[in-house]
Amino acid sequence: MQKLTGTALNSGIFIGRAIHISLPEPEIETGKIEPEDVSREINRLQNSLIAVEEEINQELHSSKLPPNEAEIISAQREILYDPEIYKQLLSAIQNKLHFATQAVADCFTNIINHFDTLKVETFAVRAADYRDVQMRLLNALSGVKNTLQHRLEKDQIPVLKEIVPSLVSKLAQQGIMAYLVAKGSYNSHSSILSRALGLVAIANIPDLLETVKDDDLIIVDGYSGSLFINPDKATLDLYKQKTERERIKQEKLRQLQLSDSKTATGIKIKLLTNIGVLDELEIIKDLSCEGIGLFRTEFLYLGKQNLPSEEEQFTVYKELAEKMNPMPVTIRTFDLGGDKLAPLSSEKQEENPYLGNRGIRFSLSRPDIFSPQVRAILRASVFGKVQIMFPMIIDAEDFRKAKKFVQNCQQELSVQGIAFSQEIPLGAMIEIPSAALCSEELARECDFLSIGTNDLVQYTLAADRNNESVTSYYIQHHPSVLGLIKQTVKSAKKYQTPLSVCGEMASHPQYIPLLIGMGITELSVNPGSFWIAKSIVQKCDDRLFALTENLDFVTPIYIVEHLINIDLKSYYANREE
């Protein structure tokens, strides 16, 4: 038996047989064409664009296609007819005398490689979409009709080098329940589709393609990100039992849909969800969530060839507000800096971007980028219950600058006779220690607050959460972090300012009772953690508050860890033993 570990893209457990899947390699013609052949290659390119659009339209009109998948696939049409890309393709054919296949291969590969060079995980979100469009075009140019030549059995587990959204769709249509991929991103459209369609998946497994052989018996553990190859009898029996428990657990969790999100003592805990793209609205539609506590707007900017216009953003925010109305939607202004906007911005690369010009700082320094976003959100606010939240606020003065910017945008819209909500709430993220230490003044100034625990832990402990070498220092339950949270809770209560937690701690079964015991009454969780969070909320009782009431900056860490590992275990729901 061998055990490998990677990144879980979707939770769940599946046992089956491995099968290696490789996409057909279209022929890429090299060398130079004759000048008189330029028009022929342009015609080939244009015909391939039409063919791929027809292919996408067929998928969109398929009765078996879920709405969320339709939105993801339709986004590929934007790439297909991106004017900047088309300009580069024509230039390669007309000026470099490249064949159409080489023009497509080079142009898209340059974009994808640029994402990889930046080493920023968020740029990987759309890289697979570009690769998908590239393969569609090359297949059309080469006469390859299908990207999946295999007819798979339902108990098979495809093993791939990489996966694209259209292939996820085809796997689901064939009844596949799990797959393994050598390279992938949790936030990619392929991963979002996998979660929406219920495919258990693990990515970034070292030496996956070399280690796993066809017909190996595989256990895919989407909870831990573990992969067991040809497991021994004891491991196999254990996971068969887990699979049955998983089935029973999911049935019980579904029964929570109509129940109240209240503790055992009757305290109301508001449960919202975090989403990063509109596609996830389909995923959360069956949840009994009370709104969106965090809508990340970065997808509008990342991986694009051009900055999104006010009108493009308005369309997205309007749809979000309309679909969620009358439930609240908290839109976070984009949490980016010059490092992540490199393809779109002339900003210089910073030596330490995490401590540099990013978040609200970058927004205020670039009104040409910030104004269209704020105006678009304001315009969308008349279609639902919209709130604006600013990232990386350090104190009340910082918030006042952002608020003033919004007020200026409101005045512009008023002069232009454009409607917007006059009472749109404005809030700040508490994700920098200074913001927590200044939380009393912020609670007095802001309409609401939200604790972003991911960055709060990172900045408090000076431990990059993406750096494996300092993983042991990234301690979410460190007393200093808990003290900052508790101080923020106290400040919010003093001014009756709504306070939520939207970071990973809110979605983690280990920390949910801890946060509730410290006085948090609003959690914004990842969609996949919603039912677990709700089941834990319902188990919290008076004993929990007695256990957590004295946690502070000076609490020894061994006491916190004892509390989490021993005493609070009684509040965990449906844990994997």
Banded pLDDT at 148 (limits 50, 70, 90): low
pLDDT for the residue numbered 284: 84
CA distance 75 to 347: 28
pLDDT for the residue numbered 347: 56
Ranges 274-283, 552-561, 565-574, most confident: 552-561
Do both 450 and 503 map to the same domain? Answer: yes
| Boundary-marking domain end, from 142, 164, 189 | 142
- Residues labelled catalytic: 189, 502
Question: Is-contact 180 160, C-beta < 8 A?
Answer: yes
Banded pLDDT at 576 (limits 50, 70, 90): very low
Which domain CATH number covers 174? 3.50.30.10
CA distance 190 to 529: 19
pLDDT for the residue numbered 479: 94
Using the predicted structure, report yes or no on whether residue 122 has a pLDDT greater than 60: no
**Residue 225 belongs to a domain:** yes
Residue 262: phi and psi, rounded to 5, are -135, 150
Do both 134 and 155 map to the same domain? Answer: no
Higher pLDDT: 158 or 277? It is 158
Using the predicted structure, report yes or no on whether residue 407 has a pLDDT greater than 90: yes
Structure tokens at 120: 């920023």
3-class secondary-structure state, position 178: strand
pLDDT for the residue numbered 575: 45
Identity at 27, one-letter amino acid code: E
Banded pLDDT at 304 (limits 50, 70, 90): low
CA distance 138 to 153: 28
CB proximity list for 564: less than 8 A, separation 6 or greater: 477, 510, 511, 514
| Boundary-marking domain end, from 96, 112, 142 | 142
**Residue 213 belongs to a domain:** yes
Average pLDDT over residues 299-308: 70
CA distance 321 to 328: 8
Question: Is-contact 37 99, C-beta < 8 A?
Answer: no
Worst-scoring range by mean pLDDT, 79-93, 138-152, 223-237, 438-452? 138-152
Banded pLDDT at 524 (limits 50, 70, 90): very high
Nearest alpha-carbon partner for 387 in 476, 285, 497: 497
Give tens-digit pLDDT for 85-119.
999 999 999 999 999 999 999 999 998 887 766 55
CA distance 341 to 148: 35
Question: Is-contact 363 371, C-beta < 8 A?
Answer: no
Beta-strand ranges (E) seen in 224-332 are 226-229, 270-275, 292-296, 328-332
CA distance 26 to 143: 8
Tally of structural domains, the chain: 3
**Residue 331 belongs to a domain:** no
DSSP alpha helix (H) spans, 528-569: 530-537, 542-548, 557-565
CA distance 89 to 106: 9
Banded pLDDT at 577 (limits 50, 70, 90): very low
**Residue 352 belongs to a domain:** no
Do both 55 and 179 map to the same domain? Answer: no
Do both 479 and 573 map to the same domain? Answer: yes
CA distance 503 to 393: 16
**Residue 574 belongs to a domain:** yes
Do both 454 and 563 map to the same domain? Answer: yes
Tokens 């304001």, residue located: 378
Which domain CATH number covers 125? 1.10.274.10
pLDDT for the residue numbered 63: 40
**Residue 567 belongs to a domain:** yes
Do both 10 and 152 map to the same domain? Answer: yes
Structure tokens at 107: 């142009």
Using the predicted structure, report yes or no on whether residue 239 has a pLDDT greater than 80: yes
Half-sphere exposure of 75 (CA within 13 A, CB side): 26
Give tens-digit pLDDT for 56-70.
877 666 545 554 455
Q: Which domain holds residue 576?
A: 253-269+436-577
Using the predicted structure, report yes or no on whether residue 574 has a pLDDT greater than 80: no
Structure tokens at 22: 């490789």
Average pLDDT over residues 468-479: 86
Structure tokens at 304: 């694009």
Do both 114 and 216 map to the same domain? Answer: no
CA distance 529 to 533: 6
Higher pLDDT: 256 or 395? It is 395
Do both 440 and 577 map to the same domain? Answer: yes
Do both 39 and 156 map to the same domain? Answer: no
pLDDT for the residue numbered 346: 54
Question: Is-contact 239 13, C-beta < 8 A?
Answer: yes
Tokens 């992969």, residue located: 227
Do both 511 and 551 map to the same domain? Answer: yes
pTM: 0.69
Do both 180 and 135 map to the same domain? Answer: no
**Residue 95 belongs to a domain:** yes
CA distance 84 to 78: 11
Average pLDDT over residues 451-479: 88
pLDDT for the residue numbered 125: 59
Average pLDDT over residues 248-255: 76
Q: How many CB atoms lie within 10 A of CB 239?
A: 19
pLDDT for the residue numbered 147: 55
| Boundary-marking domain end, from 109, 142, 175 | 142
Worst-scoring range by mean pLDDT, 24-28, 34-38, 518-522? 24-28
Structure tokens at 541: 């009782």
Question: Is-contact 125 185, C-beta < 8 A?
Answer: yes
Ranges 8-22, 148-162, 435-449, 504-518, most confident: 435-449
* pLDDT-above-90 percentage for the chain: 56
Using the predicted structure, report yes or no on whether residue 121 has a pLDDT greater than 80: no
What is the radius of gyration, based on Cα positions, of the chain? 25
Which domain CATH number covers 498? 3.20.20.60
Do both 80 and 158 map to the same domain? Answer: no
**Residue 495 belongs to a domain:** yes
